[in-house]
Structure 1
Amino acid sequence: MFNAQININIGSTTVGTAPVSSFFSYSYVQQIYPKQEVNANAAGNITGLIFYVDPSATIFDSSNWTVYLGHTSKTAFTSGTDWVPASQLTQVFAGTVTKNNNKVEVVFSTPFAYNNTDNLVVAAKENAPSIDINNFDEAFKVYSHLPSSTLYYKGDGMVVDPASPPGGIRADYKSAITISGLVPRSTAACPFVAFPTNNAQFVALSPNIKWFPVSGADSYKISIGTSSGSTNVINQQIVTGTNFIPSTALNADTNYYLKITAVSAGVESSGCAEVIFKTVPPVPVNDACSGALLASVFPYSYTQSDAISTTNNAGNIAVCPDAMNDGTWFKLVGDGSQYTIKVTMPAGSTFDPQVDVYSGTCTTLACVDSADNGGGGATETITISTISGTTYYANVGSYEETIDAPEDVFTIAITKL
C-alpha cells in the first residue's frame, strides 16, 4: 500500500547515538516510540524501518546490525540499566546495512505485528569491531523528545548481548524514522506537553507552555479553561512554534485545563488529552517585613504553604554576614526570656532555607543571629536571648546570597525556654 508508512521527524538535522553508534566499535540502543507518537490508524504488520544519515557521514564500518522490535508500557527509561528485557523483543533483522541516498533501509524477513495498544520499542546493536570517523562523530539523524526516550551503550570492548547488556546512558532524543507497513491516522499526532506536566502544582501565572513538535504539523491550537473541556481562558489560539505564554496572567491558586492539538494541512489532531495544572497561591500576607506574623502565644507553630509566591521585595538582605533571600516574615516581642526558632520541611523536600533573626525596625534592621547549617530539606534552628520590649524579626528565605530563588513549604516553630 503506497501510504503504508509512518514518517517521524525525518527532516531532523542533528545527529546522535541512535539507532546505533558509528563512533564506537560496538553499541546497543533501545528507543521508545509511544503509541501516541506512532499515530497508526490500526494495528498492523511493520515490514521495515528507515533511518536517516547525515549526508557527510559514512557507515562502512558500522554496518553489521541486529535489529529487534517489541511492545512496552514504558514511556521512558528510569535508569541506565532499565533495558527492556530481551525476552520481550523479537529479532527482525540481522545482516549488513548500507547507506543509500542518505538513508539506511532495514527490510524485515518476517513482519512484526504491532498491536497499536502498547508503545513500540526499537532496538539495534552494531557488531563490527571498527569505527567510522565522521565530522560530527555520530552519523544518524535524531530529534529531541521526551526525557530518557533512548537508552544506549557504546564501547570498544565487546559485542553486546541483549540478554545481559551493560549499564548504558539515557538520552532525550530518538532516531528520525520511517516505519513501513503501518497506515498513519488521517489526523496529526497529539503533541506531548513538556510543561506544565499533568497535575503540576505551583505553576507561574504567566507560564511558558511548551510541547514537543509533531512530525508533519504546520501549526498548533491552544485551549485553556477552568473546567474540563472548557475554553473560557484561551479558545483554540493558533501557534506556529512549540511554546506559548498567555498574554493575560492567569489567576492565582486556580486549576486550569490545557489542551494542545496539532494541525497538518488544515486538519486538527483529535482525541488529545487535557493537562491539568494549578497556579501558584497569592503572595503571602507576610511576604514583607511590614507584614510579619506576630507570635504571641507559645509554643507557636505556622506552616507556610504559600511561600513559593514570595516576591523578594527589594532584593537580598545583607544585614547579617551571610546574606539571604527576602523570604517570609515573623516577629515576637521579647520579655527577657530565651526563644528557640526552628524551621522544618516536609519529608522529601529539597528546599534549603536560611533563617536570619533581626532586631530594630523593618527599615533599620540589626543582625541578631543567622542559621544556614544544613542543605536541602535540613532543619535550621536558632536560640536567641531577648530584651524585654524589643521586637525581633525572623526571616525564613532561600539561602542564596545574590540571586532570587523560590521558597517552598516549611513549618516554623517558636518555643519559649
Structure 2
Amino acid sequence: MVILLIMKRILLLSLFFVVLAVKAQININIGSSNVGSAPISSFFSYSYVQQIYPKQEVNANAAGNITGLTFYLDPSALITDSSNWTVYLGHTPKISFASNTDWVPAAELTQVFAGAVSKNGNKVEIVFTTPFAYNNIDNLVVAAKENSPSIDINNFDEVFRVYPYIQNSALVYKGDRNVVDPASPPGGIRVDYKSAVTISGLTTNLAPGCPLVISPANNAQFIPLSPSISWQSVMGATSYRLSLGTTPGGTDVINHQTVNGVGYNLSPSTVLNNDTNYYLKVTAVSANGESLGCADYTFKTIPPVPVNDACSGALQVSAFPYAYTQADGMSSTNNGGFILACANDGMNDGLWFKFTGDGSQYTIKVAPGVASFDPKIGVYTGNCNSLVCVGTQDNGGGGSAETMTITTSAGTEYYINVGSYEDSVDMPEGAFTINITKL
C-alpha cells in the first residue's frame, strides 16, 4: 500500500510538471487572419525581417529561457521554397524602427536556429538549438532570414499570419538578388504589423499586460492643453482604467476613469495647464484582473500664449542684424481670424514683430524648428487695426525656410507676421527662428 501511494504521488507530480511544461508558452494574436511579410517573405527569394515585441506585450511572469517559436499560416499554403531559415533573438530598449535602416545590430542578436523548417497544418514550429535567455526587462527582438533562392506561389502573395500593431513595429527587407548579411543589411520598409506567434519556454501573467501608450508619447514636449490620449489594445482586455495627475502616480486630474476602447478625449471642462508636466497611467482590465506594475508616461504641455501673439504685442526690433528664436510659437492663437490685407493672399495670424524703416533694404528670413510647421511671412504698414499689404512670402512647404527682401521708407513702421500659410483654416504654428538683416 505504501509503495502504491508513493508511485501515485510520483505520477501526479510528473503530470503536474508536464502540465507546467505545456503551459510554458505565450500566445500573441494567434487567431489573426491577416497576412504579411513576417516573419519572412514567401513571395521573394530572400528576406530579412526584424520585429519588436514590447515587454508589455510579451507579458511574461518572469525572466526565462525561450526555447522556440511557432508562426502561423493558412493550412493550404506552400513554403517549400521558403524553408531555409536563420533565426535570431535579442533585447532592445526601442519599441519601433526610426528609419528604413534602423536595424538592431547583428552584434546585439543571438542566433538561435539555422536550417530547414516545415509546415505542420497551419503552423511552422521552430525548436531552438540554443535557448535564449529573455531578461523580462527589455523588449524582445525577433529576426528571421530566409535563404532559399526561389519563391512559393500561393493564392496570396504572402502567407504568414500577422496582426496590426503600432507604427513601424517591424522592418522588412525582401528581394531576389542576394542572401542578406545581418551584419550589413540593406534598407528595408517599415510596416505596422507583426507575426502572430507562440513563444515557448515563458509563462504568461494571468492578468493582462500593461497597455503601450501611443499618444502622447512618453517624455513628449509641447502637448496641447486638450490632448487626445490613445494606447495599443491588449489581448484579453475588456476595458481600461486611466489616471492623470501632476505628480508621479497622481490622480488629481483623472482618477481611475474606466474606458471601453483604446482612446480617451478630455472633457471640455478638463483643460490642462500650460507648461506643466503630467503623469499618465493606463491599465488593462480582464476577467483575470488588472495590469500590475504599469509605469507612468510623462508629457509636458505647451508654453503660455506668447507675448507677441497679437499685432498689438509685436516685438520691437531696433538693432540689426536681428535674431530671435520663437521657442513658444506652437502656443500662438489665430486671434479670431485671418490676415487678409494682401488681396488673394491671406494667411494665419501668427507671431508679430515690428521695426521702423530708414529707406534701406532689409532681408527677413524665417527658419522653422519643426518639419510640421509651414511658415509664411507677411509684411505690412499702417497700424494693427488697418494693415496695408507690403508683400508675403511662401515658396516652400513644411519645414522649409522662407526669405523675402523689402525696401523701406524712412520713418514708416513695418509689421512682420510669421504664421501658417493657410488663409481660411486655423493651422498651428511651430517653433522658428527669425533673422532680419539690413543690406
**1:6 matched to which residue of 2?**
26
d(CA) in 2 for partners of 1:163, 1:374: 39
**2:211 matched to which residue of 1?**
191
Per-residue deviation, 1:196: 0.9
d(CA) in 2 for partners of 1:5, 1:219: 24
2:327 aligned with 1:305: yes
Post-superposition Cα deviations, 1:367-393, rounded to whole Å, max 9, x if no partner, equal 1133346663636354441354x5432
Select 2:165's aligned residue among 145, 155, 164.
Answer: 145
Post-superposition Cα deviations, 1:176-209, rounded to whole Å, max 9, x if no partner, equal 1111121112332222211111221111122111
Task: Please tell me whether the aligned partners of residues 25 and 129 of structure 1 are also in contact (alpha carbons under 8 angstroms).
Answer: yes
Select 1:315's aligned residue among 321, 331, 338.
Answer: 338
Per-residue deviation, 1:156: 2.3
Q: Residues 164 and 351 from structure 1, CA distance in 2 versus in 1: closer, same or farther, beyond 3 angstroms? A: closer
Select 1:68's aligned residue among 67, 76, 87.
Answer: 87
Q: Residues 155 and 140 from structure 1, CA distance in 2 versus in 1: closer, same or farther, beyond 3 angstroms? A: same
d(CA) in 1 for partners of 2:80, 2:387: 71
SS in 2 for 1:184: coil
**2:349 matched to which residue of 1?**
326
Per-residue deviation, 1:150: 1.9
**2:54 matched to which residue of 1?**
34
Q: Which structure has the highest helix share of the two?
A: 2
Q: Residues 191 and 237 from structure 1, CA distance in 2 versus in 1: closer, same or farther, beyond 3 angstroms? A: same
Per-residue deviation, 1:328: 1.7
SS in 1 for 2:379: strand
d(CA) in 2 for partners of 1:214, 1:65: 33
Task: Please tell me whether the aligned partners of residues 369 and 382 of structure 1 are also in contact (alpha carbons under 8 angstroms).
Answer: no
Summarize the alignment of residues 284-303 of structure 1 with structure 2, pairs less than 5 Å apart: 284-289=306-311, 291-293=312-314, 295=316, 297-298=318-319, 303=325
Identity of aligned residues (%): 57
Per-residue deviation, 1:333: 5.5
2:389 aligned with 1:367: yes
**2:299 matched to which residue of 1?**
277
Per-residue deviation, 1:304: 3.0
Task: Please tell me whether the aligned partners of residues 69 and 112 of structure 1 are also in contact (alpha carbons under 8 angstroms).
Answer: no
**1:90 matched to which residue of 2?**
111
347-356 or 236-245, which deviates more: 347-356
d(CA) in 1 for partners of 2:25, 2:288: 21
> What TM-score do you get using the length of structure 1 for normalisation?
0.86
Which residues of structure 1 form unaligned runs of 5+?
A: none
Select 2:41's aligned residue among 15, 21, 43.
Answer: 21
Select 1:178's aligned residue among 198, 201, 206.
Answer: 198
d(CA) in 2 for partners of 1:137, 1:34: 28
275-284 or 205-214, which deviates more: 275-284
2:287 aligned with 1:245: no
2:403 aligned with 1:380: yes
**1:222 matched to which residue of 2?**
242
d(CA) in 1 for partners of 2:246, 2:108: 46
d(CA) in 2 for partners of 1:256, 1:346: 27
SS in 2 for 1:236: strand
Letter in 2 for 1:274: D
**1:264 matched to which residue of 2?**
286
d(CA) in 2 for partners of 1:277, 1:158: 45
Letter in 1 for 2:351: T
d(CA) in 2 for partners of 1:302, 1:111: 58
Per-residue deviation, 1:225: 0.2
2:358 aligned with 1:358: no
2:424 aligned with 1:405: no
Task: Please tell me whether the aligned partners of residues 7 and 215 of structure 1 are also in contact (alpha carbons under 8 angstroms).
Answer: no
Which residues of structure 2 form unaligned runs of 5+?
A: 1-19
d(CA) in 2 for partners of 1:158, 1:25: 8
Per-residue deviation, 1:235: 0.8
**2:13 matched to which residue of 1?**
none
Select 1:125's aligned residue among 133, 141, 145.
Answer: 145
Task: Please tell me whether the aligned partners of residues 314 and 351 of structure 2 are also in contact (alpha carbons under 8 angstroms).
Answer: no
Post-superposition Cα deviations, 1:135-183, rounded to whole Å, max 9, x if no partner, equal 5422122223344332222122344444554433232321111111211
Per-residue deviation, 1:250: 1.9
Aligned residues: 412
d(CA) in 1 for partners of 2:387, 2:193: 52
2:69 aligned with 1:46: no
Task: Please tell me whether the aligned partners of residues 259 and 274 of structure 1 are also in contact (alpha carbons under 8 angstroms).
Answer: yes
**2:8 matched to which residue of 1?**
none
d(CA) in 2 for partners of 1:30, 1:293: 52
Select 1:234's aligned residue among 249, 254, 269.
Answer: 254
Letter in 1 for 2:24: A
> What TM-score do you get using the length of structure 2 for normalisation?
0.82
Q: Residues 269 and 65 from structure 1, CA distance in 2 versus in 1: closer, same or farther, beyond 3 angstroms? A: farther
d(CA) in 2 for partners of 1:80, 1:94: 27
Cα RMSD (Å): 3.1
d(CA) in 2 for partners of 1:275, 1:87: 27
